[in-house]
Structure 1
């Protein structure tokens, strides 16, 4: 019986890890952007630069995280320790502010500019609330992604993904309930603002 329970727990942990990886903000937000461009019937000439920019941001974050691990500053690219998270969030804030400024310069008041500014605001909130909670960026961006595509069926699918991501982060012990709720609230507010701005 004990062995069966351990096997079941290991399977749940593997599933949670897979959901957490699939629900990573650098996968969820590009997917939401791609779905939004498809929903708006944008041509490839419009969609490609947006997706390339998001992919470039993701690669920069991955390169930064990998360099921190290789340099011995972090234990894991997940940046779970408080000092690691602060460093990552400061880097992300700067990156998203610069990306939003570049997007504004190139395309003015566009959806990508607004999304980048709101992403920066979520990161800033994570920094400002760090003494009180470890805001789940996975959950925040999964909830934000619900509002990006502009299609009810896709939004429902994204909402299911956001719930699964919240579950996975809890099962993996990355966040407590407060971290997940604050992350969800931040993402929902960002998503509503994205729809209204």
Structure 2
């Protein structure tokens, strides 16, 4: 039973829907018009479809064992792909005149970059990193939602341990990476010269 709950939490807390739903909710809160929300939602859906399609293609080609890229080499390859895709999405958002969305996507890329840089020493949990980052973003508009997301992050941490996907140090690294990205998301728009 606990294995099933851990899997359910892990699926519900996957970084793609967590990031996408958080960014869409913030865009709505920050006054994006309905057509803008549709555009942002469509862009995020395309982003998720590209990631899932790429993972599926890697499995079909025999390069990966499973779409979740559990092996170290698979994970490194997926993270490099994700980093490029997130930075490209940030550039598209910037060109579309959405500086806050661009910043938030670039900081999501920072989370992936941290995972790449720390790979020699640990396997930072991107599930936890994105949940903590989402909590920091949600705190901008809804402090209660941020607290709920942090509680869910604790459940995610348990699930990653229960499923033997991570060691405790991986969770610590993921937590602090998400917290750093969250702090930067709050601080950068306050800097002099920010063009948001």
Q: One fold, TM greater than 0.5?
A: yes
Partner of 2:193: none
Larger Rg: 1
Which stretch shifts more, 34-43 or 133-142?
34-43
Per-residue deviation, 1:41: 4.3
Which residue among 51, 61, 65 is the counterpart of 2:55? 65
SS for the counterpart of 2:101 is helix
1:50 touches 1:112 (CA, 8 Å); kept in 2? no
Which consecutive residues of structure 2, in runs of 5 or more, have no partner in the other structure? 189-196
Partner of 1:26: 16
Which residue among 132, 157, 161 is the counterpart of 1:166? 157
Give runs of aligned pairs for residues 16-165 of structure 1, distance below 5 A. Answer: 16-107=6-97, 110-149=99-138, 150=140, 151-165=142-156
CA distance in 1: counterparts of 2:38 and 2:28, whole angstroms: 11
Per-residue deviation, 1:43: 3.0
Per-residue deviation, 1:161: 1.4
Partner of 1:15: 5
Which consecutive residues of structure 1, in runs of 5 or more, have no partner in the other structure? 1-10
Per-residue deviation, 1:35: 2.3
1:96 touches 1:120 (CA, 8 Å); kept in 2? yes
CA separation of 1:42 and 1:105: change in aligned 2, threshold 3 A: closer
Partner of 1:193: 184
Partner of 1:3: none
4+ residue runs over 6 A deviation:
none
Per-residue deviation, 1:140: 0.6
Partner of 1:7: none
**1:8-66 per-position Cα deviation (integer Å, ceiling 9, x unaligned):** xxx10000000000000111111212321343343312322222211111111000100
1:16 touches 1:172 (CA, 8 Å); kept in 2? yes
Aligned length: 186
CA distance in 1: counterparts of 2:6 and 2:92, whole angstroms: 36
State the Cα RMSD in Å. Answer: 1.3
- Give the TM-score, by structure 1 length: 0.90
